[in-house]
Amino acid sequence: MNQGLILKVGLFSFNIQSSIRSLSHNVATLYQDYPDELSEDRTRFIDFHICVEPPNLWHKYYKGQVQFFSDGFAPFTPLPYQHAPAMIEWGMNWCVAQQMNTHLIIHAAVIEKNGFAAIMPAPPGSGKSTLTASLVQEGWRLLSDELTLIRIDNYHVSPFPRPISLKNKSISVIKQRYPGVVFGIESTDTSKGTVVHIRPPKLSIELQGVECLIAWVIFPKYEEGAETELTAKSKAQSLMDVADNSFNYSRLGALGFDVLKNVIEYADCYQFRYSQLDEAIDAFAALELPE
Amino acid sequence: MKKEFPLLLQLFSQKKPVEQLTESEWDLVIRQARAGMLLARLYHVLNTKKHLSVVPKLVMRHLESAKVHAEKQQNDLLWEVRHIAKVADKLDFPVLLLKGAAYAIGGYIASEGRIFSDIDLLVPKKNIADAEKQLMLNGWLSSNKDAYDQRYYRQWMHEIPPLVHMFRGSVIDLHHNILPITTSACPNADLFFESAQSMDKYKNIKILSSVDLIIHSAVHLFYDGELDHGCRDLVDLDALMREVLGQKQTNVNPLSTRAEELGLQRAVFYAIRYTSKVLNTPVMFIGGTMNTGRPNKFILCLMDFLFLRALMPDHASCNDLWTSWARWLLYIRSHWLRMPMHLLIPHLLRKSWIRFTGKTAH
């Protein structure tokens, strides 16, 4: 019997099972550089046991739908077969964001350069993923595209590098700029439009055990035709806005506030508007290192 | 039936020593605990027994995360209770908290690491309209707009449809008894108010007496067909019994005596039987005959078959071929116990019709 593939992603191990061809093909493409030794050793503790399968024969043959299961529990409603590759990515995020409280978890991209991290909390549509996908091709290390995990004991970011999700127009933008980037299978007509994931740079995965402090908190906003503009943002407002983008800020209670306060006190906070990726990359390269 | 209980329950009953768990056994324990909503509870049990030091680091992350979640829930619950207390102050009759909320404000061990859902209140039947009105004025509105459901609840059940707070989303189940009035075993609710415990912190909020808390927990578990939290509820019962009855080594068994007063011997019998079987609860030692409320041999055999399956954590590793049948049959049984035939059949027909048409409409 197929026991599933066990991957080590950042701090966590995932046992992934699925009989869906497109999904296993996609996982093989996107996750080829991740450590998978645990697949050979079935005696170890695994953090998350996940699968994507049709929930029953009705959904399989009549509705053509599949569902994400976290060890038998289905947090989402079933979706069409062709969304399976995207669904497993959303499911893996769900596992960590909903179940782990050893970190303050922010819905934000996080990248590193010279030993310091920049986090980019932003709602969907702000161009966060396009910017991240470009920056990690320009010398930044990918720590995560979706979930920033901040340790509650020392405020370091624990990397959780995953395939970066691109949507709609940004797919062709990245394809043209970086022809070497490996794309997974497109999921069309999802609630977010067309979604595709790209393979993270190998170095980001090799360094997935290396944590770092946050030097910059940057709220990006893509606006067509806008001048590139990096402006300081007040710490109080930044704290509130990061908290708004957190999955477990209120679950952590006073501790959540404490962690965030320390992060914001140390980091420089900015609002960032851009329309040209080249200028955005330059602006990030010019960020000042903390003393 | 001689089978091993799931590893998680063997830890709770101390049949399996924690130090002996291998990494892959921990994997299974965490999965069973998560499915049974008992992860934070496990943290507390291990902590109380000073066993946290032997938990592997990787496993500890999950236990600690669950503990944080449970603490948040407990905090939220106490916040809601403060609001309910304000409502209660305006009422001239007692308001009793039941189940989880009662364990929490009464400081019972059963509340440690417990996952809470709705808040259950008990008020005298004649005052239910007043209580509902005051709750409504303070933001808790009836969520159910269906006329049939409203009538079904108000006429036959022991509670009114759930009240949901318009801003905070908290849910209150307002009861006037612990079983539907159509159940033959429906107890006299006055007895609960007579022996209720006052709370220092709250003026007009009380909780059931310790023994009644056990009995209500038993009634809920063994009469209510929704066994999704069955394992959690059994663990509640175990904790309550150990705490409340554990110290009193008298000849008089307060549990059996009270069960007889309320006419709820059967539920208490099952509670004692399955907690001691599954979790090794030392109830034999507590005294009292095991025979009050004992059903005949055939029924008992059947109930063992059903409950020893349905009360396991809802996880693939705890299921056998019969588990889902057992849960389904117990669901049917609960309806059978709660309503006489001439009410039950039209009700179930209507429910299935709604479900059927609802499905085709999509």
Q: What are the pLDDT digits (tens) for B190-223?
A: 999 999 999 999 989 999 999 999 999 999 999 9
User: Which pLDDT does position B358 carry in this prediction?
Assistant: 61
Taking the CA atoms of A241, A247, A252 and A258 in sequence, report the sign of the dihedral they define: negative
In the prediction, which pLDDT does B361 show? 37
Domain shared by A216 and A241, yes or no: yes
Quote the minimal CA–CA distance from A70 to chain B in Å. 10
Token pair in block for residue B334: 């609960």
Cβ distance of A72 and B316 shorter than 8 Å: yes
pLDDT for residue B49? 94
β A116-121/A213-222 pair status: parallel
Which of A6, A12, A45, A58 should be substituted to probe chain B, the one whose Cβ sees the most B Cβ atoms within 10 Å? A45
Closest residue of chain B to A152, computed from CA coordinates: B65
Q: What confidence score (pLDDT) does residue B252 get?
A: 58
- Tell me the residue length of chain A: 291
Tell me the residue type at A265: E
Q: Is the pLDDT of residue B240 over 70?
A: yes
- Chain A residues whose CB is inside 8 A of the B24 CB are 42-45
Search chain B and give the residue with CA nearest A103: B65
In a shared domain, residues A112 and A94 = no
Is residue A183 one of the residues assigned to a domain? no
Are A102 and B58 in contact (CB < 8 Å)?
A: no
Q: Say yes or no: B168 contacts chain A, CB-CB below 8 A.
A: no
Residue-wise pLDDT tens digits, B119-148: 999 999 999 999 999 999 999 999 877 888
Give one word for B120, left, alpha or beta, with left for phi > 0 and alpha for psi -120 to 50. beta
Question: Which residues of chain B does A10 touch, with a Cβ-Cβ cutoff of 8 Å?
Answer: none
Domain boundary residue among A99, A124, A142? A99
Whether residue B257 lies within 8 A of chain A, CB to CB, comes out as: no
Q: What is the pLDDT of residue A63?
A: 80
B107 by Cβ neighbours in 10 Å (0-12 / 13-18 / 19+) ranks as: exposed
Please indicate, yes or no, whether residues A94 and A131 belong to a single structural domain of this protein: no
A83 and A126 housed in the same domain: no
pLDDT band for B316, please (50, 70, 90 cuts): very high
pLDDT, position B129: 94
pLDDT tens-digit readout, B71-93: 999 999 999 999 999 999 999 99
- Among B271, B101, B266, B72, which residue's Cα sits nearest to residue B174? B101
Query: Edge-to-edge strands of the sheet including B205-207?
Result: B140-142, B163-165, B171-175, B119-122, B95-98, B205-207, B197-198
Residue A261 lies in a domain: yes
Q: Looking at the complex, does the CB of residue B78 fall below 8 Å from at least one CB of chain A?
A: no
Instruction: Report yes or no: B64 at the A interface, CB cutoff 8 Å.
Output: yes
Q: Do B31 and A99 touch (CB under 8 A)?
A: no
Mean pLDDT, residues A104-118 taken together: 97
- Asked whether residue A91 falls in the same domain as residue A111, the answer is no
Same domain? A124 vs A250: yes
pLDDT for A3 equals: 81
Give contacts of B315 with chain A, Cβ < 8 Å: 71-72
* The pLDDT of residue B360 is above 70: no
Q: Is residue A179 part of a domain?
A: no
- Residue A117 reports pLDDT greater than 90: yes
**Residue A47, in any domain of the structure:** yes
Mean pLDDT of B327-345: 84
Residue A181 falls inside a structural domain: no
Q: Are A111 and A81 in a shared domain?
A: no
Residues in B closer than 8 angstroms to A47, CB to CB, are: 58, 61-62
Task: Give the domain extent around A211.
Answer: 104-162+201-291
Q: Are residues A10 and A131 both part of a single domain?
A: no
Name the minimum distance, in Å, from the CA of B79 to any CA of chain A: 13
Give the one of A47, A72, A100 whose C-beta lies nearest to B35's C-beta: A72
**Same-domain pairing of A128 and A41:** no
Higher pLDDT, A104 or B288: A104
A108, A181 Cβ separation under 8 angstroms: no
Do A244 and A152 lie in one domain? The reply is: yes
Residue A205 vs residue B257, higher pLDDT? A205
Residue A1 shares a structural domain with residue A24: yes
Backbone angles phi, psi at B17, to 5 degrees: -70, 135
Q: Is residue A175 part of a domain?
A: no
Q: Is B350 on the interface with A (CB under 8 A)?
A: no
Quote the percentage of chain A above a pLDDT of 70: 99
Q: Output the average pLDDT for chain B.
A: 89
**A104, A254 in Cβ contact below 8 A?**
no
Question: Are the CB atoms for A83 and A187 separated by under 8 Å?
Answer: yes
Give pLDDT, residue A220: 96
Contacts of A43 in chain B (CB under 8 A): 22-24
> In the predicted model, what is the mean pLDDT of residues A168-178?
94
Which pLDDT score, from 0 to 100, does residue B156 have?
A: 77
Number of structural domains found in chain A: 2
List of chain B residues whose C-beta atoms are within 8 Å of the C-beta of residue A102: 61, 64-65
The last residue of one of the domains, among A99, A130, A147, is: A99
Choice between B362 and B73, residue whose per-residue pLDDT is larger:
B73
DSSP string, A161-201: --PEEEETHHHHHHHHH-TTPPB---EEEETTEEEEEEPPP
Let me know if residue A189 belongs to a domain: no
Q: What is the mean pLDDT of residues B171-179?
A: 95
Residues of A with CB under 8 A from a CB of B: 42-47, 49, 71-73, 99-102, 248, 250-253, 255
Provide mean pLDDT across the span B185-190: 93
Q: Give the per-residue pLDDT at B83.
A: 96
Q: What is the pLDDT of residue B248?
A: 59
Please report residues of A whose CB lies closer than 8 A to that of B34.
71, 99
State residue B144's pLDDT score.
76
The CA-based angle B206-B207-B208, given to 5 degrees, is 130
A193 assigned to some structural domain: no
Q: State whether A265 and A291 are in the same domain.
A: yes
Percent of chain B at pLDDT > 70 equals 93
Compare CB distances from B68 to A46, A49, A252 and report the shortest one's residue: A252
R_g of chain A computed on alpha carbons: 19
Mean of the per-residue pLDDT values for chain A? 93
ipTM of the complex: 0.94
Contacts of A42 in chain B (CB under 8 A): 24
Mean pLDDT across the stretch A8-16? Answer: 96
Which of A44, A101, A255 lies nearest to residue B69, judging by beta carbons?
Answer: A101
CB contact under 8 A, B31 and A71: yes
Is residue B294 very low, low, confident or very high in pLDDT (cuts 50, 70, 90)? confident
Res. B251 pLDDT band, cuts 50 70 90:
low
What is the predicted pLDDT for the residue at B87?
Answer: 96
> Is residue B336 over pLDDT 50?
yes
Sheet with A187-190: list strands edge to edge. A164-167, A193-198, A187-190
- Residue that finishes a domain, picked among A78, A99, A120: A99
